Structure 1
Amino acid sequence: MMASTAVTTVAHMALASATMAAVFVFCDGSLFGYHPAALALGFVFLMGEGVIAAAVGKGRQRPLWINIHALLQGLAGAAVAGGITAIYLNKERLGKPHFATLHSRLGLAALALFLGIAMGGAVVKYLPGMGVVEMARRAHKQFGAVAFFMGVAVCINGLRLTNPASPVYKGTLSMAVGGLLLLAAAAVLLQLLLAPSSGPKMTKGRRAPKAD
């Protein structure tokens, strides 16, 4: 338990550090600058914190943590939408084509996956009587983690670390942001691996007789 708590603390710090670094390096007040800042806020910090909330919320407090998880993911979606709007408007202003790069296509795929997971989460939360709820719960958990790591990958890809000639590339600063993003992803992965089960599952069979 102590190890899990320490990992949770490290994960919080790593997510915050990576996001603040991205905002500091890229958010220069230009329309384009809001794109990486908003995506880091949404895909990395808010989505990562949402994943952690769902992982650590156990026992009687789990309903509260699930509500926090849902709120964080909703805010993450809003931030990502804002970031995509910023880059869309910027490309319109410059007359550049939309979704013409690997980065933009990966981002679109990550957003589509996020929206699908959000709908699955709504099924789990608000339609618990449906027969597919257990399958939906497992899929929501597993693909939710995939969406987070995919979002981090989109952010790292956008740093253009392999293309120093790109105007987006900021040299050592870009490499530092990339390193912090990798650290954040690793910390969340470790948190997921150490997270205890959400509780005993119901098994089929007769109930134990009550004591007289």
Structure 2
Amino acid sequence: MPLATTRRAGLVDQVIEQLRDAVTQGEWPIGQRIPTEPELAGQLGVGRNTVREAVRALAHTGLLEVRQGDGTYVRATSEVSGAIRRLCGSELREVLQVRRILEVEGARLAAVSRTEEEVVELRSLLERRNAELRDGHWEDFARLDAEFHFAVVQSGHNTLLTEMYRGLTEVITASVAATSNVTPGREYLPEIGHEGLAEAIADRDADRAASEACGFLDELLARVEQDES
């Protein structure tokens, strides 16, 4: 994606938006060093101070990382993802609390409203998730685990709840990685399976589905709160 020359007012905000787009659209992948300040200033048609402010703002949100004497690197695909990469303590606890609120009711609704096709999809996601876990593909495991939970909520056919949950996709994926013992350098709980949740939904047992969703999140919350104390 070529960077366009900026002409209107609000230069810093415009530069921030263009740099953000370059990252989110894959022009600059995670781990890559972005062009230098003089290069960006030339491409965008703005002063180096404007570029510096934009980079500083995106570094503050976690999207970029400024390494003194080395350059600026892409740290995450979005500000949310960048912030949650540092999830720990009270921040992680709050994410899990929100997940508990949404996922327990989502599981209950799914057991009542799911279709046969959605049951098949839940089981397929679970199989793929478990395969990635066995193969040690940690990032794919976290992504598929989050996709499974989204599919559960989506199966409840409550549009507002689904859209609320969709907006937390990156946060939820990061919380899966942060609370999983498969993440290098982190160890919380033995790997938690979700077969019981999938089967409760398949059996249209709303109370059991809610209990399954509540149970594993309560385990995670208890461990995180223990680590905080």
TM-score norm. by structure 1 comes to: 0.29
* Greater RCO structure (CA 8 Å; 6+ sep): 1
- TM, length-normalised to structure 2: 0.27
Q: Which structure carries more helix by proportion?
A: 1
Query: Highest Rg: 1 or 2?
Result: 2
